[in-house]
Amino acid sequence: MDSILTISNLTKKFGYLTAVNDLSFTINKGNVYGILGPNGSGKSTTLGIVLNVVNKTSGDFKWFDGNTTTHDALKKVGAIIERPNFYPYMTAEQNLKLVCKIKGVNESKIEEKLEIVGLLERKDSKFSTYSLGMKQRLAIASALLNDPEILILDEPTNGLDPQGIHQIREIIKKIASEGTTILLASHLLDEVEKVCSHVVVLRKGVNLYSGRVDEMISSHGFFELKCNDMEALVKVLENLPYFGNIKVTEQLVTAFLNEPLKSETLNTLLFEKGIVLTHLVQRKESLEEQFLTLTNNQ
């Protein structure tokens, strides 16, 4: 598989604070990646380093095969960092023309990309008159101008209203479906869960997990059970080989699986032991629960 970005042992220190700590991961062509982490976990700093606006303290990163300089590589990359930054006194079209000149691409794509983000009618309005949602969509159009090999989005839905968030997500899904590699930094878990196939989880600049989203939820799930005789139920469960941790609250028994087990098998087993369930739910941990476990335990 072609690698697009390889980060190895990257570290960034701001004085005593270590924003990114010995971070390594690789981004391959064709996947949608999420960088997940609470605020201040080093997501934006990492992106800033690979995008040539923040200086690294140590470590290394390379774009594509490693033979292109960073600023040449960036011409094949589309990126939006935190807030859309354009010249307020220029119209949308003038701003995009400038980006074309910087990236060295033809200006013929401008209308097409404005169409994708739904701003074609407003192309002659000054950037300063745009709403935040429109600014963010213009930023996406600008990032798409060179038909990038990878699109980097840093918190693209931050500060938008529900309609705005929905519009941006639809655009991202559409771009992803066309085969563009996407790297999405976010602290919004459902955003990453909905859009990404791979995820890198950061906390305080440390890489906690990197790999596929579905493999991150590696456990076999858990059962939520209720019956009239809770004590008997717990006793039986503890004697079965399938379960690890069993949590008991007043109304509910939560039993975590060590190996796969179907709900009908469990139900039959318990019925044979004389326990009649009043409540049986089998669940997998959501990304959110997994994420909280990951970021809290370490």
Exposed (0-12), middle (13-18) or buried (19+): which is 203, by Cβ within 10 Å?
buried
- Check binding of 129 to other proteins (CB under 8 A): no
3-state secondary structure of 97: helix
> Do residues 118 and 130 lie in contact, with contact meaning Cβ atoms separated by under 8 Å?
no
| Residue 102 engages other proteins in binding (rule: CB under 8 A) | yes
Q: Which of 91, 290 has the CB closer to other proteins?
A: 91
Closest contact distance (angstroms) between CB of 85 and other proteins is 4
DSSP type of residue 135? H
Decide if residue 89 touches other proteins (CB under 8 A).
yes
Q: Hey, what amino acid is at 202?
A: L
Q: Decide whether 104 or 274 has the Cβ nearer to other proteins.
A: 104
Instruction: Note the residue count of the chain.
Output: 298
Residue 215: CB minimum distance to other proteins, A: 32
Which member of 10, 77, 189, 216 binds other proteins (CB under 8 A)? 77
Helix-strand-coil split of the chain, %, nearest 5: 40, 30, 30
Q: How far is the CB of 53 from other proteins (least distance, A)?
A: 4
**How remote is the C-alpha of 295 from its chain's centroid?**
15
Closest of 218, 269, 225, 271 to residue 247, by C-alpha: 225
- 3-class SS of residue 199: strand
* Contacts of other proteins in 5-24 (CB under 8 A): 14
Residue with Cβ nearer other proteins (53 or 252): 53
Q: Which stretch binds other proteins (CB under 8 A): 2-10, 67-75, 166-174, 228-236?
A: 67-75
Interacting residues with other proteins (CB under 8 A): 14, 48, 51-55, 69-72, 74-75, 77, 79, 81, 83, 85-90, 94, 97-99, 101-104, 142
